[in-house]
Amino acid sequence: MIGNEAGIVGTVLQASRPNESERNNVAILLGTFNGERHLEAQLTSIAKQSHKDWTLWVSDDGSSDRTPEILRHFAIAHPDRQIHLLEGPRKGFALNYISLLRHPEIKARYIAFCDQDDIWLEHHLEAAIRKLTPLEDATPALFCARTAYIDADGSPMGESRKIPVSYQFPNALAQNLCSGNTMLMNMATRKLLQDFAPENVSAHDWLATLLVSGVGGSIVYDQEIHVLYRQHAGNSMGENRSLRAHWRRLRQLKDGTLRRWTDLNVAALAAAESVLTPENLEVLRTFAAARQGPPWARLTSIRVSGVRRTDRISDTAYKLALLCDLV
């Protein structure tokens, strides 16, 4: 059934033929909000994936532009695909994705996050599945990769940094290096997020990284580029090495945004204490104490916790922010 432009929420835009095998089925979770300018390019890149066993679940957070119409036209052009449009919670991009993770009708071996204005390279799903397939399904596992930045018109703007092999739970408490628009997760990771994602969350991808690393799960980093990550004024998040990005981080420190995000992350992890490894639970508690202690004791506590950013300059700035009660 294809609904009309104003009333397609909750409908199946196209019903697919049953898959011969769901062994490597991927449910693509796409959050949309007024994405008409770049959405078609992203949808085209999904259709061109070398891995063909996927379904698309879209949560629209109240678009007032042509986004629903574009989705309907895409469904008509791909009658062999199962494409669903759901109504988002209208509480921000992070909870839009969490609501998709919690949707009971979404069943697949893997879940992929997808942003409305990026472009997936053709090998993205195939390569991600190849990396996760050897891992046990019962153990939380998460895949993420590097991105190439493009501007609003698609022109190159550089590449994301390589993800250090040493990046672990203590690093994730200080910064998220796993970009959600490259993520693929197994059902055990989805269950973690279903069980422990709070109503207030800083970012769905940061929380996924924290939970998987915190419980001792597997995070697989691919140093190859998988996604063209579009940078523009409408980004909820963006690349982190430009002058604009540095200025944005300074503003986030000044207005308390980073501290609020850290508060939310610590609260979510505290609610998940029962599943954290003993070592990571101790890291979390020491880090939480460091944030609340007197300034002269914070550096000692943060050093004991092991929480740090992965490059020296950024880590020094982070510790100075902690001393000033900005983290």
Here the CATH number for the domain that contains residue 121 is 3.90.550.10
Q: What does the pLDDT read at residue 18?
A: 37
Instruction: Check whether residue 306 and residue 208 sit in a common domain.
Output: no
Question: How many residues does the structure list for the chain?
Answer: 327
What is the sign, positive or negative, of the torsion defined by CA atoms of 232, 236, 240, 244? positive
Instruction: Check whether residue 93 and residue 152 sit in a common domain.
Output: yes
Q: What does the pLDDT read at residue 297?
A: 87
Instruction: Check whether residue 78 and residue 99 sit in a common domain.
Output: yes
> pLDDT digits over 258-295, tens only?
999 999 999 999 999 999 999 999 999 999 999 988 88
* Residue 3 belongs to some domain of the structure: no
Total structural domains in the chain? Answer: 2
* Residue 5 belongs to some domain of the structure: no
Strand partners, 149: 158, 229
Instruction: Check whether residue 132 and residue 267 sit in a common domain.
Output: no
* Residue 187 belongs to some domain of the structure: yes
Q: What does the pLDDT read at residue 8?
A: 41
* Residue 310 belongs to some domain of the structure: yes
Parent domain of 277: 244-323
* Residue 1 belongs to some domain of the structure: no
Q: What residues contact residue 121 under an 8 Å CB cut-off, 6+ apart? A: 45, 225, 226, 227, 228
Instruction: Check whether residue 260 and residue 196 sit in a common domain.
Output: no
Residue that is last in its domain, among 215, 236, 257:
236
Residue that is last in its domain, among 185, 212, 236:
236
Of 142 and 251, the structure prediction assigns the larger pLDDT to 142
Q: What does the pLDDT read at residue 184?
A: 98
Instruction: Check whether residue 312 and residue 194 sit in a common domain.
Output: no
Residue that is last in its domain, among 236, 266, 283:
236
* Residue 4 belongs to some domain of the structure: no
